[in-house]
Amino acid sequence: MGITLEETWNKTPGENDTECILELKELTKQYQSNIALDHFTYTFTSGIYGLLGPNGAGKSTMMNLIARNLKPTSGEILWNGKTPDALKGKYMEEIGYMPQQQFIYEHMSLLQFMYYMAALKGLAKKKAKVQIEELLKKVDLWEKRHCHLGSFSGGMKQRTLIAQAFLGNAHIIILDEPTAGLDPLQRVAIRKMIQDYAKERIVIVSTHVISDIEPIAKEIIMLRKGKLLDIFSLETEQREGETIEDTYIRLFQ
Ligand SMILES: Nc1ncnc2c1ncn2[C@@H]1O[C@H](COP(=O)(O)OP(=O)(O)OP(=O)(O)O)[C@@H](O)[C@H]1O
Ligand SMILES: [Mg+2]
């Protein structure tokens, strides 16, 4: 009997499944006089979070800080109470990251790329095989697995980058504008995929398309000029009778 992708995520005995707390405390990134992220404080627990805000609001900066591609100017990140430095390599194993900018190894076939990314994440070949097949089927690229990435359309590259973010056993999945450039059918498929894999994980998704995130996010964080402006949830929508679109227009107009 074959094993499923979920089974490859099996926890080691004794591991606490429920603990999934990512705290950002006064997290700040400054470029000369420009503060890209300004004393941002927030606690994420398992579930899907949307990140909304105009161009330059600091969404990618925050995501890159969590993924440790950038060093904060000040403030700290805590994963289940511990700093990434204290956790050493273990913290990076918790991160699945899809960058906003498409950077992809054009000369590799899709399968080669996925195995390469799996190896970087320290995934054993047997588990990688199971995960890669399921993920590529989810993003509708399994048939293209032997094609070179250089021959892919923008949307196909996008779906490749989404798939690789879910490789391994990461509990913090960061997707920086995953649906940009996708056609309507693919947007729905990706939304479904995010929802399927969000169980027991923190999934943070930035987007400019409210309808991509509104139906699935437990909370939507609005950012402006690096600052947390508002937090929106379906509860607040019901309570205040204002749609997220109305909120966005009110805040950013
Ligand atoms: N390497 C850098 N050097 C200097 N300033 C930078 C650098 N990277 C980002 N910034 C600045 O930081 C701010 C936040 O940028 P960021 O890319 O995080 O915004 P964003 O919300 O992701 O925007 P978008 O919606 O366009 O992707 C902007 O003012 C940007 O110009
Ligand atoms: Mg960005």
Q: What is the pLDDT of residues 230-250, one digit of tens each?
A: 888 877 777 777 888 888 888
90 three-class SS: helix
Indicate the angle between helix axes 110-120 and 154-165, nearest 10 degrees.
30
Ligand nearest to the CA of 38: 1
Instruction: Give 218-221 contacts, CB < 8 A, sequence gap 24+.
Output: 218/47, 218/48, 218/49, 219/47, 219/49, 219/50, 220/49, 220/50, 220/51, 220/52, 220/244, 221/42, 221/49, 221/50, 221/51, 221/52
Residue found under tokens 């409210």: 210
The pick from 34, 35, 70, 248 for probing ligand 1's pocket by mutation, whose C-beta has the most ligand atoms within 8 angstroms, reads: 34
- pLDDT at residue 16 tops 60: no
Alpha carbon nearest to ligand 1 atom 2, residue = 31
Identity of the amino acid at 38: D
Q: Ligand 1: which atom is nearest the Cα of residue 58?
A: 18
CA dist list (Å): 35 to 45, 55, 56, 62, 227? 26, 14, 10, 12, 9
Cα 14 to middle of ligand 2, angstroms? 38
Structure-token pair, residue 103:
């950077």
Average pLDDT (69-79) is 97
Confidence of residue 12 (pLDDT cuts 50, 70, 90): very low
- pLDDT at residue 38 tops 50: yes
pTM: 0.90
Whether the CB of 72 sits within 6 Å of ligand 1:
no
Confidence of residue 15 (pLDDT cuts 50, 70, 90): very low
